[in-house]
Amino acid sequence: MPNNAVVTFVGAGPGSADLITVRGLRAIGQADCILYDALIDEELLTYAPNALKIAVGKRAGKASTEQVFINRLLVSSAQRHSRVVRLKGGDPSIFGRLEEEMAALDAAGIEYAVVPGVTSACAAAATIKRPLTQRGVSRRVLFATPTTGRNVAQPNEALDDLSPQHADTLALYMAGRDRSSIARRLIEQGWAASTPVALVWNAGAIDAISETGTLASVAWAEARNSDAPLMILVGESVATERGAAIEQAAREAQTFAAAQAS
Amino acid sequence: MPNNAVVTFVGAGPGSADLITVRGLRAIGQADCILYDALIDEELLTYAPNALKIAVGKRAGKASTEQVFINRLLVSSAQRHSRVVRLKGGDPSIFGRLEEEMAALDAAGIEYAVVPGVTSACAAAATIKRPLTQRGVSRRVLFATPTTGRNVAQPNEALDDLSPQHADTLALYMAGRDRSSIARRLIEQGWAASTPVALVWNAGAIDAISETGTLASVAWAEARNSDAPLMILVGESVATERGAAIEQAAREAQTFAAAQAS
C-alpha cells in the first residue's frame, strides 16, 4: 500500500502499543526515519531499531508556530530519507492536523500515504464495554473537541447547536480542561441532566480509568486531576445501568430455546 | 486485557486483514472458537488454524430474527469453549450491534472484553488521503447510517435535522442503496450543492475505489452498481481541490526558511 510513498502517516491508535494496526507496525519496521507525537506509546519505536527517531510533540500555547516547524521538518526528512513514517496518536484523520502536513508535502511535491488507526472514541467505548451506537436508540454519533488549535478550552463554541435532535451520542476529544462547563452547556441545549456520561482517561491503555454517571452527577463531581488524555462519551448507548436490556435478552433466549424444543 | 474474558469482541477493521490491531490478531491466535461476520477478510481466520470457525453473516430482511440466533450461538459457544472471539468488521462499537450481543452474554453471566478496531470512516479518509477534521474548517464529525436494522434505506429519518450548523463533516455508513435521495435530502437541509463529497467503496482494501465531487455532481451521476460496502464522506475537509491550501503551505515554508537564514 504505502509502497510508492516517501511519507506514510500512521495512526498509532490510543494508549497502548498493541492497538496499532498490523499495516502500521509494518510501516514502522520499514521506516528509516520516524517523526512521532508526544502521546505515542514509545514501545512502538523499538520496532524500528535503525531508524532516526524525532519527537515532535507540541507544547501548549505554541501550537501554531510549532506546526510550521513540524511541517518543515517533515519535508526536510522526506528529502533526506526514503521511507519516513509520521506517527500520530489515534487515527490521523480525526483531530490529527493531517491537512497542514499534507499541504506542506504537496507544496514540496512529495508523495504520501495514510494508514488509519483506532480513534480514541472507539477505544474509550471498548474500555467501558459499551457501544457508541445502539439499534433503535443511538444512530448518530458526533465527534467534537472543545479544544482549539491553541489548546484553549472553548466549550461554548464547539458545543453550539448540539441538541439531542442532532446527535444521539457525543464523543468529546481532549475534553479534560473544563468538564463542568461542558456538562452545563449540554444541559442548556436540551440534553437531560439524567443523560448517561462516561469519562475515560487513557482509553485503550492498561492503566485506563473510567467514571460513569450522568450529565448532572459527573460534571460537578470532585475533579479528578490528571494530565492523562480524557475522552467524554455522552448518550443513552453508554449507559451502564442496563437491567431492562439484560432482562429482555434473557426472555428472548428462553423464547428461542422453547421454539427450538417444540 | 481480555485475559479473564470468555468472549472477546474484536474489531477486524475494514477491507483488509492488515488493518486489524496487533491486540486483535493476538486474540484470534488464542481463540478456540471464532464467530465472524460476512464482511471480514477471511485471511484473518488463517491465524487460528485450530479454532472452530462459524460464519454468522446476516441476510437482508431477516436481520432481527437472525440477531437472536447469533446471540444464542454466541452464548452456547461461550459455554462450550474457553476463548471465543466474536469478530466484527470495522470497530465493534459503531454500527456493530454490540449491545444485543453484550446483553445476551450478561443475561447468561458470561464475561467479555472488547478490542477496538479501525472504523470504516477513518479507512475511507485514509483511502482518499483527506482528513475528517481540519483546523478552522471542520471541527465536528457525525457518523450516521441511513440503513436500519432491516437493511431498509430510510435516508429521511437518519438525516433529519442535519444542517451544516450541526456538523462539519458527515460520514455515512452503509449508504449504497439510495445515494441520490441522500444528497437531495442534505441539500434540502441547507448543505450547499457545492459541498465536497467522496464516495469510497471497499475502504481500506487493496481494491478500494473512490469518486470525489460535490453533493450536486456526485448524487445524480450515473450509479456505480456494486455490492461492495460504500462510505459517503461529506464536507469541506474531504475536498480534493486544495490549490489554496498548498499555496499557503508553500508560502509558510518560504517564510520559515527566510527566518532561519536571517
pLDDT in tens, B77-116: 999 999 999 999 999 999 999 999 999 999 999 999 999 9
State the Cα–Cα distance between residues B148 and B63, nearest whole angstrom.
10
What is the length of chain B?
262
Q: Does ipTM top 0.85?
A: yes
Provide the pLDDT confidence category of residue B220 given band limits of 50, 70 and 90.
low
Over residues A64-72, mean pLDDT: 83
What ranges make up the beta strands (E) of chain A?
Answer: 7-11, 33-36, 52-55, 84-88, 112-115, 140-144, 169-172, 196-201, 209-214, 230-234
Least CB-CB distance to B20: which of A21, A91, A119?
A21
Cβ-based contacts of A242 with chain B (< 8 Å): 103, 106
Residue B151, pLDDT score:
46
Residue A175, pLDDT score:
83
Interchain contact B108–A (C-beta under 8 A): yes
- Report whether pLDDT(A21) > 50: yes
Least CB-CB distance to A106: which of B22, B249, B252?
B249
Q: For cell 421454539, name the residue.
A: A259
Residue B153, pLDDT score:
47
Catalytic: which of A41, A58, A88, A91?
A58
- Report whether pLDDT(B141) > 90: yes
Q: What residues 194-213 of chain B have any CB closer than 8 A to a CB of chain A?
A: 204, 206
| A88 has catalytic annotation | no
Provide the pLDDT confidence category of residue B208 given band limits of 50, 70 and 90.
very high
Provide the pLDDT confidence category of residue B170 given band limits of 50, 70 and 90.
very high
Residue A63, pLDDT score:
58
Cβ–Cβ below 8 Å for B249 and A18: no
Q: Do residues B233 and B212 lie in contact, with contact meaning Cβ atoms separated by under 8 Å?
A: no
Q: How far is B14 from chain A (nearest CA, A)?
A: 10
- Report whether pLDDT(A239) > 70: yes
- Report whether pLDDT(A151) > 50: no
- Report whether pLDDT(A64) > 50: yes
Interchain contact B27–A (C-beta under 8 A): no
Q: How far is CA B148 from CA A26, A136, B14, in A?
A: 37, 9, 20
Contacts of B176 (CB under 8 A, 6+ apart): B226, B229, B230
Nearest-5° Cα angle at B8, B2 to B13: 110
Contacts of A40 (CB under 8 A, 6+ apart): A12, A87, A88, A89
- Report whether pLDDT(A43) > 70: yes
- Report whether pLDDT(A255) > 80: yes
Interchain contact B98–A (C-beta under 8 A): yes
